[in-house]
Structure formats: C-alpha cells, structure tokens
Chain A
Amino acid sequence: MLFHTWTFLIFFPIVFLGYLALKKTPLRIPWLLAASYVFYGWWNPYYLLLIVYSTALDYYVVAWMETCGPPGSKPSPDHGWGDLFSFKLPHASLNAAAWVGRLGLFGSVLLWFVGPLGSRAVCFLSGILCLTIMFAAARRSRKAWLWASMLNNLSLLFYFKYADFFIENANQLFTRMGMSMQWPEAATLMPFGWEYLLPVGISFYTFQSMSYTIDYYLGNLAREKNFLRFATYVAFFPQLVAGPIERASSLLPQFEAAPKIRLKDLSDGASLFLIGLFKKLALANYLSFYVERVYGMPDEYSGAALALATIAFAWQIYFDFSGYTDMARGIALMMGYKLMLNFNRPYLATSLGDFWSRWHISLSTWFRDYVYIPLGGNRNGPVKAYLYLGITFLLSAIWHGAAWTFIVWGVLHALGTMITRELERKEWYHERVPIAVKRFLVFGFVTFAWIFFRAETMQDAWLIVTRIVSSAWSDPAMPALMLGLIALIWVYQWLQESNLRPWTETAWFKVAGSVFMLIWLCFFSSSGGAFIYFQF
C-alpha cells in the first residue's frame, strides 16, 4: 500500500480510529501489528512470511543470547563442536534451540535430495539457519548468536536481492574460464512455483531487525520479552518499507506505554504528511517523467538534455525519498510516535561528509555505528580510517542494489568524502573558499555520482557521461514549468539556511504555502508509481 493512494486514505482513518479506541487497552499493540501486516501484505501476502521469519529469528536469537551471560562474557573453552550433538545443554531453551537446529537440518538435507529443484533455495536457507543455531547453542556465546542472526538475515537478503547478480557474474566467469558449468537462475529455485520478486522494503526491515540484535549484543538495550511488541517494532507500518530505519532503543520504548497524543502532534503530523505528499506527487513524479524519457534512450538526447535530466534526477530522488519519510514521520506522529529525521536539506551540504550527515541519516548512522566504528573508525590513523571508510561506502552501495553501477556510485562517494575531508583540513579551503562555492561543488559531485545510480547499465552511465561532455548541446526540451519549479525549490532551500528563515516561518507564509500546496496537488498532481526506495 502506498501513502499517496486512495486505499491508504481509507486505511489510515480506520487504523487511526481503531487505535484511538484501543489506545489504553492491551489490544493497542496487536492492533498496530495487524494494521502493519495488512499494510505490508497488501502488495503480496507471501511477503509476510519473510517479515515474520526475520522477526522471529531476531526475537529468539536474542532470547537465546540472554542465556549466555551478560555482555562481554566469554564462552567457556570446553564449549565447542563437541556439544553439537550433546543432549545435556545447561539451559532448557538452548536444548530446545539445538533440537530445532538438528531436526531442521535433517529435514533440509532430506528435502534437498528428494524434493523438487524449486525447494533448493528454501533447503539452503533453512540449512544455514539450522546449522548456525546448532553451532551457537553448542558454543553458548553471545557472539555466536550474533553471527547466527547476521548470517541468516543476510542470507535471506542475499537470495532475494543479490543472487541473480552473483549468479550472472559467476556464470560469465565460468564461461570466460572455459568451464561448461552454469548455475541455475535464482528464480528457478523458488518453492511452489512462486514468483521471484524482491520483497518491498526487505533491506529496511532486515537492518532494523538486525540493529536490535546488535544493540543487545553490545549491551545497549534490554531484551524485549513481548513478542508482539517486538514484531510491531519490526513491522511498524509508517516506516516499514522505506524507513527511517529506527533503532530499537528509540522506538521500542515508545511502544511500552500508550503515547499521549497532543493536538500539536496531530497538526504537526498532518503538516509533515502534506509536505511529503506534495514532494512526491507534485515534484518527484513530475521530474520522473522527464528523467525517464531521457535516461530511457540516452543515445538519442543531447548533452544538455542529459545534464538537465541528471539534475532533475537529483531532485527527483530527494523529493521521492524525503517525501516518503516526511509522510512516514507525519503518520507516526499523529499516532503519538516520533521517528527520526532522515533528511536535512542535503543539497546545501558543504562537504561530502556533511552531505552524508544530511542524506538518509538513519542509514548513514546505521553504517557508522554498526560497520565503520566497529571496524576501528578513525582511531587507528588516517590510512586505516580511509580504508574503513571505503569498506563502509562499498557496503552501503551494495545495500542499495546488486549492480556495478551502484558499486561505482559508492566508490565515487568514498573518494569524494576522503577528498573533501582532506580539503576541509586545509586552512585556505576551510576559511577562504565561500560556502556557496563549496555547496555548488558538492552538489555538482553528488549529481555526477547520481548518473551511475540511475543509469540502467554501466554502458549507459558511461554513454551519458561522455555525451554530456562531448556531444553538441541542443534544445533539451525540458518544460519551462519544471525548470521554474527546480529554481524555486533551490531558492526555498537557500532561504531555509539563511537569515531570512524566520520570514518563512511566519503564520501567513505557512498558511498561504499550505493552501497553495493543496490547490496545486488538486490540479497538478500526476499519477505516479511506487517510491524509488521501495526497490532497496
């Protein structure tokens, strides 16, 4: 279900009224969970199996992790492979886990050999799950359970998101090496003939669920004992499919007691929703038409059209994604829940580091806290810091999708971040280069990198880059209205970070602006598809 659809317009009031009625009863959380599952299952009810799996996995992994002592406790050296088939593990739940692992592994192996080809993916994934559970139960260590969670969550993500990319590249490699071996396509491994589709938002809820396990492992939060509450945290519908990726330490406590909904929450929530709706329907969708036209056939367009389409895409993806998170935050706020800020005028950043502190903040902080800092951060000198930075950006690029274009995009950002970080350390750059120039440079670089993010293939991306710099610039046929809107948006964003900001916060400006947005939406909103970030 999409926020900007009539279906949601019917769905949300029903959920909201039901929520108000049940707010002070024990049914509040089950109601929210049911609403979230209906919201998610609307696309495809089979997707629910995956989210329930991911939820149950992390819930039980943390429960089993709890039996292994407090954070920092080391496993006894006599716990190891020898206990894999032990019948006398010291804790009843560990014994249960071990038995689940053993029986599951047996079933998986059996099905692999006697079942149809379509059951192999399930056999493989359940085999990994059972093996890791058996091993972690035998080891009785927090770290083993953490690995069990990560391995299984990432296996699922890998199969649905990266398997095709991996298999395609592997098969190409086999051919080049003169080997006749070819791996079957991932789609042929789906059970029951189900369609091989990327489940909407799988990267978001997998990361959200994993953050709970990692935080528990690090001792940053207590175990959530109520399964329904934990499931609601993973599946909370406002932010389920495109973030913000909320941390358990921030959202779970909000589910403990009925939140107080103030009139201000309702008005602020409605304001955020309106802004998000405007960004999506009035801006992002409009820009997308031009971008699709030009990027669909890059060899037929001049350098001017390609350059303008790239700038248009920079704004399209910003409005599309930040519009979604504005709506998500607005909906959650109306129900009394506060979600984190995810975008903060990123195109006014003065360095790449600054850009990433303003763009998709929930993801960039996730990678910072769970990848960059655990790797060593900037504690081991600049060379290692840049190495970790590169790894972090590479993982972030892969998170966005399985394609070489995303990897190039990530590498470009890693290089850009290193360069601007070094430049910021130079006094002449830091003090003398005007902010406007820095902003222009950062925007130019980010926009250039978007070419790789948006292009269908590396060949297309390279073609676009070469045509921008080498082909004759002719009439780009970008509507004047579109150009005007982009210019207005830019001016507005600059106003927001200037001394004139208070002027944009006057009551008459806000009221006039909101009426304008509503009327504009009625006239100009164009029909458009899903949000760009649903594919991640």
Chain B
Amino acid sequence: MTTETKPSTTLSDSRRRMRGHLPHAFLLTPWQWCTVVILFLCVVFGLPKGCKSWETFEPEVNYRVPYEASQDYWQYERHLDDRNESDTIYFVGDSVVWGEYVSPDGTWSAFLNEQSGGKPQFVNQALNGLYPLALEGLITHYAEGLSGRKVMLHCNLLWMSSPQADLSQAKEQVFNHPTLVPQFRPRIPSYHADIDTRLGRAIGHRWSFLGWVRHLQIQYWDQKDPYAWTLADDGKYPPSYPNTYRMPWSELDFTLLSEPNPDPERGVDSKRHSPWSTDGIGTQRFDWVELKDSLQWAAFQRLCKLLQQRNNQFIIILGPFNKHIMAPENRTRFESIESGVKQWFVSTNIPFVATELLDSALYGDASHPLTEGYRNLAVELWNDPNFTDWLSQ
C-alpha cells in the first residue's frame, strides 16, 4: 500500500535518483515500428530459406518422413519440392502407403520402384497417422507443390469402419494430426478443441514461418518448444532433468531426424512384423458408417475434387482391406460400401484400381500389409491395365 500522505523524509533514494518516471524504454516511434516490421519480415522469410541450405537433406530413393517427424509438415512440403523431376509420381496416403510394419525399402512405393527397373520414379509421399480428414488438410495447406503433378491417391475404407474411426461420434476423441482437420466447417463431432486452439491451428496453416518453427521443435527439441525442452524430465521416478544445463540452440546441429537402423518397430526382423492372426485376436465385427453419413468419405471426395482443380493427373488405389479379419456376416455391408465408392469414382470419371485381396498371412492388421504383401501389391499394380494406361498418359 502507498501509505504516505505527503512526501517526507521517507522519500526513497531510488525515487530521487530516478531519471523520469517512464516505466519502459521500448516505446517505439512509428518509423521505428516500420523498421522493426521490415527487419522481422526479413527474418521470417529469410530464416526458413536459409535453413534449407544449412540443413543437410539428401533423401534416399525410398525416403519417407520418419515416424517421429510425422507432424513436421514443413519437412513434408520440403520433401515434395525436392523430388520435382518431371516423371516423378507421388504416392499419397496414410500409414498403408507409408508402411506401418515395414522398413523404407519394404513399402509399396519401394517395390513399385523395383518394378520400374530401379528408376526412382515413385515417391512415398505419405505420413503415418493420416486419415482422409487430415489428408485433405495436408494436401490443401502443405502440398501446393503437387499441383499439376502425377499422383497416386490411396483410399482406405478402414476410416469408415466405425463412427469412432469416422470421427463422427459425439464423444471427444484424441486422434493424430488434429491440426490438419477442418477446424470450423464441416463440424467434426469428435473434435472438441476450444475456439482459440482452432483459430491458432487455422492461422498456423497460413503462416509457413510457424510451420518452420514447429519443424525445428520436432527435429531438434524432442517435439517440444525450447522452454519445455529445458524442463523436460526423463520420465522416471524420481525424475532427472537431462536438459537443465543445456541451451536449446546448442541442439541446432542441422542434422535431421532419420529412421532408426535397424528399427526395432519395423521391418522383417521386428516383432511387430507378423501376420494379424498370430495376435490371437480373431475375426472382428465392424460398425460400418454409411457413405452418405461418413465424414471421412466426404473429406476424401473433397480431396479428389481439389486434385482435379489443381490439374493433377491422379489415380485412386483402393484397398487392400483385410477381409479375412472381418466376421462373415459383416462382409455384405463392407461390399456394399466398397461398391458405392467404386460407383462414385466411375460417375466422376476418376480412374481407379481396386486391389485384390492378399493372402491372410500377408496382413499385419485390418489394413496394413507386411513386406511380401506390398511386393505382391506392387506386382499386381504394375500389371494392371488401368494402371499402366494411366502411367503411360
């Protein structure tokens, strides 16, 4: 409380010594603000460009964005721009294309490259954890470079296999890539983020500098902002704090995240790389969502239209869904949905290839093939007349 009713001998020395009473020295004049804005814009546009030359990014033939960097959309965009040879074909999709259980050289696109005689023609342009609603956002905001290019777009019916997978149930869900889904329209019942978070995400898509900042956080600071990184614990009890006495900028060695080699989670030698039936789960019942009600299918349709608008020459690769995992009484519903999807492709003149069902032992789960499965799929696709027609166009 200020308790003095009149200045007296208690007037502090510091106040007598004060040079005026302005609390801040940072009051800028209009001209100084102009300078600040210009300098800031130079930094905003200059740093990401500079980063591209400082960071060593020489993707191998079958490069895919590493699992840990799945949310690094800036890196995704950069990969897209780096592989811009005229005959490049981008294979876009979710973890089926990315290769959930397989190493980079065991993916669908890797075997397609093998079929094409080792020519690096097919690029794995998928991200782990995507689904049509997020894929739509990814292509809309981070794949301008795809415009006019040849694209293989994967269609995975798994995302219509239940209201939960479709994100159409009212109960709040935590799901991958929430920043990519439509923030306001169409409304996603499972997405309960507050309006400020939604606004921030919508604005973030339109300001690539923020995407680059996120890129640095993902690549160098364990997916955290630098402050959180300095405070991070090791997850044990009692905790220790490995980064306490390290400075965030000391981590900027410009070496990008890469896939572990060998990867304990992926590849033919990993434990996860085994047929679905070995898990002992047995067949499953799916609560399929009707196409007319499906948010994911609507997003996929919008995505196709977007590609058409962007003059992409694209083909849809439908499947391979693991029908072996489905309870027999559940298959009719699936086949009706699959048929509806095909009818829509025909009615909109979108070329498509529906893959054949693989042997049961070649599936890791409901939709992800294992390495041999991808090899078979690549061979099948390479010999499909619709596909070869499309390739030769």
Binding site for B on A (CB under 8 A): 5-7, 9-10, 263-264, 266-268, 270-272, 274-275, 285-286, 289-290, 293, 300, 326, 341, 343-345, 348-351, 353-354, 356-357, 361, 364-365, 367-368, 372-373, 377-379, 389, 392-393, 396, 413, 417, 421, 424-425, 430, 435, 438-439, 477-482, 496-497, 499, 501-502, 504-505, 507, 509-511, 513-515, 517-519, 522-527
In angstroms, Cα B199 to Cα A289, docked, is: 25
Partner of B2, one of A266, A357, A425: A357
- 10 nearest A-B pairs in the assembled complex, by CB-CB distance: A479-B230, A6-B199, A354-B12, A350-B12, A504-B25, A424-B10, A526-B227, A6-B200, A477-B241, A357-B2
B residues near A (Cβ < 8 Å) are: 1-5, 9-10, 12-15, 17-19, 21, 23-30, 32-33, 35-36, 39-40, 43-44, 195-196, 199-200, 203, 209-210, 213, 216, 225-228, 230-231, 238, 240-241, 243-248
Given contacts A289-B231, A361-B2, whether A271 and B14 have CB atoms under 8 Å apart is no
Do residues B199 and A356 form an inter-chain contact, with CB atoms below 8 A?
A: no
**Min C-beta distance of A422 to chain B, whole Å:** 10
Which residues of chain A have C-beta atoms less than 8 A from B203's C-beta? Answer: 6, 9
Complex formed: what's the CA distance from A517 to B43 in Å? 13
Q: What is the distance, in angstroms, from A324's C-beta to the closest C-beta of chain B? A: 14
A168 to chain B, nearest CB (A): 28
CB distance from A51 to the nearest CB of B (A): 22
New contact pairs (20) apart from A268-B28, A348-B14, A350-B12, CB-CB < 8 Å: A6-B203, A10-B199, A271-B26, A271-B27, A275-B24, A349-B12, A353-B3, A353-B4, A424-B10, A439-B14, A480-B245, A480-B246, A502-B19, A504-B25, A505-B25, A510-B32, A511-B39, A515-B36, A515-B40, A523-B216
Chain A residue nearest to B24 (CB atoms) is A275
Q: How far is the CB of B268 from chain A (nearest CB, A)?
A: 41
Option from B3, B32, B36, B228 in Cβ contact (under 8 Å) with A417: B3
Do A435 and B14 touch (CB < 8 A)? yes
Contacts of B195 in A (CB 8 A): 7
The distance in angstroms between the C-alpha atoms of A413 and B1, with both chains bound, is: 9
For B213, what are the chain A residues with a Cβ–Cβ distance below 8 Å? Answer: 522-523
The main secondary structure of chain A at its interface with chain B is helix
The CA-CA distance from A517 to B39 in the complex, in Å, is 12
What are 6 inter-chain pairs, A to B, with CB distance below 8 A? A266-B30, A267-B32, A326-B24, A353-B4, A361-B2, A511-B32
Q: Distance in Å from the Cβ of B23 to the closest Cβ of chain A?
A: 5
User: Which of A424, A482, A497 is in CB contact (< 8 Å) with B17?
Assistant: A497
Tell me whether B43 and A6 are in contact (CB under 8 A).
Answer: no
Q: Which of B12, B30, B196, B225 contacts A264 (CB 8 A)?
A: B30
Taking CB atoms, residues of chain A closer than 8 Å to B43 are 515, 519
In the complex, which of the residues A10, A378, A393, A438 contacts B13, with contact meaning CB atoms closer than 8 Å? A438
Among residues of A, the one whose C-beta sits closest to the C-beta of B230 is A479
| A240 to B246 Cα, complex, angstroms | 41
Do B10 and A353 have beta carbons less than 8 Å apart? yes
Nearest B residue to A484, CB-CB: B247
Given contacts A6-B196, A354-B15, A364-B2, contact A524 B226 (CB under 8 A): yes
A368 CA / B13 CA spacing, docked (Å): 22
Give bound CA distance, A527 to B2, whole Å: 35
Given contacts A264-B30, A519-B40, contact A510 B13 (CB under 8 A): no
| Interface contact A270-B19, CB-CB below 8 Å | no
Q: In the complex the two chains form, is B33's CB within 8 Å of A267's CB? A: yes
Shortest C-beta distance, A356 to chain B (Å), equals: 5
- Contact present for B230 and A272 (CB under 8 Å): no
Residue of B nearest to A276 (CB): B24
Q: In the assembled complex, which residues on chain B have CB atoms less than 8 Å from the CB atom of A501?
A: 19, 25
Residue of A nearest to B243 (CB): A479
A270 to B1, CA, bound (A): 30
- In whole angstroms, how far apart are the Cα atoms of A385 and B199 in the complex? 54
B9, B25, B246 pick with most chain A CB within 10 angstroms:
B25
